[in-house]
Every structure is written in structure tokens, then in C-alpha cells.
Amino acid sequence: MISRQMYGLSSLLMKQIGNSSMVDQDPPPLSPPNPTPESASPMGQILNPAGRSRPYWGLADVALAFVFIVFAIIVGGIVGALLALIEDNASDSWPVYAIAAAIAFQQLGQWMWPVIVSKTKGLGLREDWKLRFEPMDLLRGLGLAVTCVVASGVLSQLMTWIVGLPDSANASNTGVLTDNDDSLWVIGIILLVTIGAPLSEELLFRGLILRIFEKHFGTVLAVAGSTLLFTLPHWQGGATFDETMVLLAAIAGVGAVLGIGAIKFGSLGPPIIGHMIFNVWGTLVALYI
């Protein structure tokens, strides 16, 4: 009887010792999360090391775009001036190859800035600025080009009546083509007008600017704001005020149509193709009609 009680007491004692030793032990350490340079937010957006959710581009990048492009234009102007000096050009006006250099650097700046912003602050050109193409974009682009021709014609004629300009045919920004149609360098100008301008201007105005404005102000103001900023750089220094107003009215019509197209189709493919077709048409009219 005593031995059985002793056995029960010893079992109880051993059990208490075991429980106390388990309490004194530290809990096993938790496995640390795998370190990653960027983690995903609940919405699936990527966070940069500073914790800012991508894309985090904004209105400041629109303002900086014009600073960057002006810098590119200045560099292009220096290159053009050096080319003129090398060729010992004594004319008061810039030679066509110097103009080509200035235009090329401007378009390079218009292309590079959206790429830089998307690379450093966004999710890529496809997601940020909707730079993508599909087969149907050819037909959509043709439709936008025809609409651009109609809109630019109607608005330029309306502005002609408003300002009292007798002949709207003088309101044109194709003088560099007609003034140098006997030079081989005009081929470079044509390529810049028909390919370079649609690619760079659409990426800047209907890509970066339109999407940033849409993010902050909504669709209607985005189209209006991007159209205004697209129109103003086409101001012609050598034209009269009335001629310039007619030209800007036509350009505004083109910008509005392409902006609406970018919103409607959710892609830069149709506006780029439409812009190319429109500029090809304008070039042919300027040179041969």
C-alpha cells in the first residue's frame, strides 16, 4: 500500500517537473520572411524600396517633361548650328540638315522622357502609357486619320471666318518641306514628320500627359489638357497671328481626335497609326497637290 502511494507521488512529481521545464523553454523562433527588394501591396501594385506604390508618377513629371524636351531642343540646336558652321553656310536661314538635326533631337526628347518616367516610377510602357498594338489598330488608325482630316478642315475653316483670313491655305507648318523639296535632306525631314513625330508625340501627349491628367482630373479634362499642350508647340514664328490661329485650330482638332481615340481604344496603337496616316497625307498634299 505504501509502495503504491510512493509510486503515485513520484509520478505526480515527475509530471510537475516536466511541465515546469516546458514553461521555462523559449518558444521556437519564427522563420523570417524571405527578403525581397519589392513587395506587393494588397491591390497587387509593386512597392519600391521607399514604400511608394507604383505607379507613382504625377503632375510634376508633366512639368519636367517640357524642361527635358527644351534641353533636348537646345542640344539639337547646337548640333544644327555646328553643322551649319562646318558647311560654311552663309544664308540667314538654317540649312535643311540643321533643321533636321534640331527636329530629331526634339523628337528624341519627347520619346525618352516617357520611357524614363515609366522605368523609374511606373510599371512599363504597356501598362502606364498603353503602348501596344494589335491587327485591328490598322483599321482603327485609318478611321482616326480620316476623322482628323475632317476635324482639322472644319476647325481651320471656322477659324478662318473668325479671324477674317482670306486664304486658309497659307496656314501651314509644312514650309520646311516645300522650301527644301529639291534637297536630298528633305527625305530625312519626311521620315521625321511621318514616322518620328507620330511615335514621339503620341507617347508624350496621348501617353504620359493624357494618362497623368486622367489620373488627377478625369477623362474629359485629360483630353482637353493634353490637346492644349499638344497644340501650343506648333505655334509658327514666321506666320502672322491670323495664320497661326488657323493652324492651331486645325492642330487642336487633330489632338482632340487622337486623344479621344486613345481613351476609346485604351491603347496608343490606333492614335500612332492614325497620326502616321494623317501626316503622310499632309506631306503628299504639301509636296504634290
Q: Is 46 helix (H, G, I), strand (E, B) or coil?
A: strand
* Span 139-164, average pLDDT: 95
Cis before residue 95, ω within 30 degrees of 0? Answer: no
- Confirm if 198 and 111 have CB atoms less than 8 A apart: no
Higher pLDDT, 118 or 10: 118
List the one residue out of 130, 133, 147 whose CA is nearest residue 266: 130
* Span 233-256, average pLDDT: 90
How does residue 165 score in pLDDT terms, banded at 50, 70 and 90? Answer: confident
pLDDT in tens, 57-87: 999 999 999 999 999 999 998 988 888 777 6
Q: How many angstroms separate the CA atoms of 179 and 182, rounded?
A: 8
Higher pLDDT, 245 or 176: 245
Match 504620359 to its residue by C-alpha cell: 208
- Cα 29 → chain centroid: 49
Match 490637346 to its residue by C-alpha cell: 227
* Span 14-38, average pLDDT: 48
Q: How many angstroms separate the CA atoms of 231 and 225, rounded?
A: 10
Q: Is the pLDDT of residue 239 over 80?
A: no
List the one residue out of 112, 104, 130, 121 whose CA is nearest residue 258: 130
Backbone region of residue 88 per phi and psi (left: phi > 0; alpha: psi in -120 to 50; beta: other values): left
Q: Is the pLDDT of residue 42 over 50?
A: no
pLDDT in tens, 88-105: 655 556 778 888 888 999
* Span 133-144, average pLDDT: 97
Q: How many angstroms separate the CA atoms of 259 and 264, rounded?
A: 9
- Residue 46's DSSP bridge partners are 40
Mean pLDDT of the chain: 83
